[in-house]
Each structure stands twice: as C-alpha cells, then as structure tokens.
Amino acid sequence: MGTLENKAQQNKKNNTGLLLRFLKGSKLLFALSILCSAVMALADMINPQIIRMAIDNCLGGQLSQFPAWVDRFVENAGGFAYLGKHLYLMAAAIGVLALVRAAAQYGGTMLNTRASEILVKNMRDTLFARIQRLPFAWHMKNHTGDIIQRCTTDVDRIRTFVAEQLTSVLRITILIAMSMYFMFSMNAKMAAIAVVPIPVILAYSVLFRRDMEKGFLECDEQEGRVSAMVQENLTGVRVVRAFAGEKGELDRFKASNEHYTDLWVHMGHVLGKFFSIQDILCGLQILLVTCFGATFAVRGEMTPGEYIAFISYNGMMSFPIRRLGRMLSEMSKAGVSLERLAYIMDSEEETDRPGAGEADMTGDIRFEHVNFAYENGPQILTDVDFTIPSGTTLGILGGTGSGKSTLMLLLDKLYEVPEGSGRITIGGTDVRDIRSDYLRKHIAMVLQEPYLFSRTLEENIGIADKAITREQVEAAAADACLAASIESFSEGYETFVGERGVTLSGGQKQRTAIARALTQNAPVMIFDDSLSAVDSVTDAKIRAALEERFGTATIILISHRITTLSRADQVIVLEDGCITEKGTPEELKTAGGIYQKIYEIQLGVRGAVETGKEAAHETE
C-alpha cells in the first residue's frame, strides 16, 4: 500500500510540474486575473455592510456596532444622521462599488482569456514537438485517433479547468473567509449554526471525487477508441467501399459508440446524484440560517440590518461551497486529462548514443549477423549477414513477413539492432554511432505504402528541402515518370492532393513518393516495393533514370517483380528472416531456388502472352 501511495504522490508531483511547464508565459496574466477576482470579492463583501449601515445606523438609530476606523470615516463624512438624510450618498457608494466590480470583472475576463489561449498554444506546441521526437516504435503502438484526442479534447479540458475553475480559487477563498469573518463579528451563535453543515458538505464532495475520476478516465479512454475508429475509417474509406464493408464498419462503430454513450450515461447518474445531494445539503444549510436568523431577529438578538447582511454573506459563502463541488468534478476531469498528456510527455524520446556523429555515407553497407524481433513478437531476422558494395544496386526478394522491410527500418535506425544481436555499418561505422538526423538525410527511402500530405504536388515532392526550386521539382518528377501525369492536371504542380493522396491513383502516389526521394540526392536510396503499382514499361524507365541520375549511389530495391531486380548487381532472397539465396540475377535464375521459380512463373506467363499475341497476328 505504501508503494502505491508513494507512486500516486510522485505522479501528482510530476503532473503539477507538467502543468507549471505548460503555464510558462501565462502565469503572470493568470495572477493578474486572480487579483481582479479578489477585487470583485472585496466589492461583494463591502456591499452588505453598506446596506446594514443604512438600515441600522442611518435610518434606525445606532443599532449596529462598527470598528472604530469605520466610525471615524463616517464622522468625517458628516455622521450617521447626515447620511440618513442623504441616502443618495449610500446609493452612490454602492454604485461606485458596482463600477469597481464591473471594471475588475472586465479586466479579469480579458486577462483570463488571453492567458488561457497562451496556455493552449503552449500545450499544443509542446505536445506536437514531443510527438515529433518520439521513436517510430512508439507511434506504431499508439492509435493516431487516441493521440489526436489527447491533443484536442484533453488539452481543452485542462484549459477549461485552469481558466474557469482554478483562477476562481482565490476569489472563493476570500468570499468564504471574509463571509465567516463578518458573520462571526455580527453574531457568533448564528455564524456557528451556518458553519456546522459545511464540513459535511465538503466531506461528501471529497468522497465522490474518486468515483468521478474513475468514470472520467473510462470515458476518455473510450473516446480515444472511438476517435481512432473514425480516423481509420475516414482514411480507409476507399477500402471500405471497395469491399462493400459499410455495414460491418457501421456496426463496429455503433457498438463502440454505444459503449461510449453508456459510460457517459453512467457518469450522468453519478454526477446527478452528487449535485442533487449537494444541493439538498446546501439548501438545508440556507434553510437553517434563514429560520434561525428570523427567530433571532424577532427576539431582538439580531438587528434587521444584521439579519439582511447575514443572509447576504451566507449566500456568498454557500455559493462557493456549492461551486467547490463542481470544481472537484472539473478537477477530476482535468486530472485524468493531465495524466493522459503526461503519458506523451513522459514517453522516452528517440536519442542517439553518446558521442554519435557524422560518418562517410558513401562507403560499403554491411549487415553483420543481425538478429531482430519486435517488442513482444516472434523472431523476424535470424543471422542476416551480407555486404552491399558502395555504388552498387542490391535487390531483395522475399515473401510477405520474410523481413525485407525490417532490414530497411533497421538501416534507417527507425528501429535499432539490440546490443549483442549483430550490427549494421556504413563505411565501417556502426549506424548506432551515427546521428539519426544525419543518417536519415543521407538515406532516401520510398516506403511500401507512400504517404502524401494534404498539400500541392509541388509541396509533396519538395517536402525534404525548403529551398528547392521548381526546376528541381520538375526534374525529379521527370525521372520518376510523373511529369506527363502532372501536366495533364488542370493546375499542374499546384494540384492539391487530398488526404493521404486519395485524389491520385496508386501508381501516381508511388511515383510522387519516388520523385520526393529523388530530390534528396542521397548517397543511399531505398525503394521498398515502391514500383508495384506501375506498369513494366514505366518500371524500366524509372530504373534507367535512376542509373543515369545516381550512378554512384548505393541503391536497394525491394520487389516481388523479377524484372525490377534483373539489373541489380546482386540479389538476396529472404525466407522466414533468413537469407536462403545470394548472387547475381543471372546466377539465381538457374540456382534452382525461390528466385528461379518466381522467374519462371513471371517470365513464363509473359512468354505465353507474347506467344499468343504472335499467333493472333499470324492469323490476321
């Protein structure tokens, strides 16, 4: 139990530190806003005393006792009798207080609004920067929809709590403290009756807080699941439509959304019970004060002015106490949201080894007895050992799940080879000793599933270089055999690409990704099955352009198409994470292995098609 309590205390401390970090640049504004709230509270406190003075001392004779400094101030103003004959002065004092309160309220609102917007900006900037620095593996484990929900709903919830609840704490404290001070100074017995129910109300609110925290956490987590489902369906809408899967996806969404709705309905019951009982307790407290106060006033134990002032102060005190319950509710929500943001901020960033630096990226690439398995997963690569001489082209062939893409992710340090599981070197330098940003700038990678941003074609192609010119973009597009397609669009390179490139065909997306990689002029280029959606003629043109443009670059081609691999300097065949064949394309064509079988299947089909065409031509 002690360990759990210590952990909870540590989490609370860390979360407080995180909130203070988010508040950087807005703390002074929030402090000034709180000061304005304090002025409003003081104005509210003085009003009942003016009314009490008017009723008891200016109109009813010297019924109420005030501090000596108040009596001196009244004497300097002409005395109670004079004020009784000139009640407009009392009304003017109330009016001045109202103006002061209004000015404080306006200033507080403006300061609070500006501070809250700065807070939100800081949170979003900090979270986005953190997410950008988190490892590739972290992104693979966390749903995009859930991350978005944390950075939107949870951020807004924290803003709401800080701006609307936390800044009210001082005003509430002043209202409660000064209300009790004035109440006890007027009638201690009546004040005691008013104060007795307060501990019960506070204890009740604290007891409910744990249930509220648990409920809000469940609601937030389920909202993340619903958001992730919506995000996946919106980005994969073409797949859903293509397989007529609308009904199945709708049923899945309805089930998840119904569970989300049930959780909030349950929370509605909890909150309804909480606020209803709290209102009953607060109502009973007000009833006690009203009834006992009226009795004391009839008996002469309180003056009429004191009774009216007492009722006013009790209202001022009961409102913050009721508000405190709502603050606990909002605090529970904000606490859950802060925990969810802390998960992002506490996640370990991608870091380089101490002393990691730059290296010669034009040297040989060497995989030395590499073994690898994803976290909590089976072995993917087993004793993979090969060399890619500088300036040559390596072809990689293998079935689905054989580890082809994993090799490239390890080379680019998106995942790292664990210690004792071999190593990968470039020019003799372990990639783990090369700075990640430097390594990735010198390795151009076209992924198996090209991702395009919702920007123009020109922006997508030139995304790796802010200083790139239109001529360089056009040259890369030409080498990727994309120029003709772009020129056929009415807006050319200014054509806006929909989310994830949804407005382009599969081949156009792949060629856009290839053009983007070509702009890097990197000494190492990786094409991870990135020519699968283009026809054989275009495939051959792109490979010829690559050879002409990057004669000295080291090129890695991952493909299921034998023609794509036919001009590689060497080819390796992966099967179940092991290299089963290695050699030149010519050698492997007759080696009796997987490469030869695929070669005969693909080229055999092609030969049959060509034979059929020739026969048809002769018939004609």
The answer to whether residue 358 is domain-embedded is no
Q: Are residues 415 and 280 part of one domain?
A: no
Return the percentage of the chain with pLDDT > 90, whole number: 17
Q: Are residues 432 and 577 part of one domain?
A: yes
Q: Are residues 236 and 107 part of one domain?
A: yes
The pairs formed by 122-128 with CB atoms below 8 angstroms and a separation of 24 or more are: 122/22, 122/23, 122/24, 122/25, 122/26, 123/22, 123/155, 123/158, 123/159, 123/341, 124/151, 124/155, 126/21, 126/22, 126/345, 127/151, 127/155, 127/341, 127/344, 127/345
Contact between residue 433 and residue 490 where contact means Cβ atoms under 8 Å apart: no
The answer to whether residue 193 is domain-embedded is yes
Domain residues for 67?
A: 10-346
What are the tokens at 351?
A: 């870091």
Q: Are residues 327 and 202 part of one domain?
A: yes
The answer to whether residue 357 is domain-embedded is no
Q: E strand or H helix at 365, and its extent? A: strand 365-373
Structure-model confidence comparison of residues 171 and 187, the more confident one: 187
Domain edge (last residue) among 346, 379, 412: 346
Q: Are residues 458 and 514 part of one domain?
A: yes
- What is d(CA 461, CA 102) in angstroms, rounded to the nearest whole number? 56
Which pLDDT score is estimated for 48?
A: 83
Q: Are residues 408 and 329 part of one domain?
A: no
Q: Are residues 291 and 435 part of one domain?
A: no
Structure-model confidence comparison of residues 354 and 169, the more confident one: 354
Beta bridge partners of 412: none
Q: Are residues 543 and 441 part of one domain?
A: yes
Of the candidates 571, 617, 569, the one whose C-alpha atom is nearest the C-alpha of residue 594 is: 571
- Per DSSP, which regions of 389-434 are E strands? 393-398, 423-426, 429-430
The answer to whether residue 1 is domain-embedded is no
Total domains present in the chain: 2
Give, as one character, the DSSP assignment of residue 60. Answer: S
- What is d(CA 234, CA 549) in angstroms, rounded to the nearest whole number? 38
Q: Are residues 386 and 284 part of one domain?
A: no
The answer to whether residue 596 is domain-embedded is no
The answer to whether residue 605 is domain-embedded is no
Give CA torsion, residues 45, 48, 50, 53, to 10 deg.
-130
Q: Are residues 202 and 332 part of one domain?
A: yes
Beta bridge partners of 575: 578
Residue for token digits 């002393």?
A: 355
H helix runs in 462-592, sequence order: 470-479, 483-488, 506-518, 536-549, 562-565, 585-589
CATH number for the domain spanning 436: value is 3.40.50.300
CATH number for the domain spanning 185: value is 1.20.1560.10
Contact between residue 464 and residue 476 where contact means Cβ atoms under 8 Å apart: no
Q: Are residues 279 and 176 part of one domain?
A: yes
pLDDT band for 61, please (50, 70, 90 cuts): low
Rounded to two decimals, the pTM is 0.70
The lowest-confidence range among 18-27, 141-150, 199-208, 334-343 is: 199-208
The answer to whether residue 617 is domain-embedded is no
Domain edge (last residue) among 316, 346, 376: 346
Which pLDDT score is estimated for 308?
A: 82
Which pLDDT score is estimated for 12?
A: 61
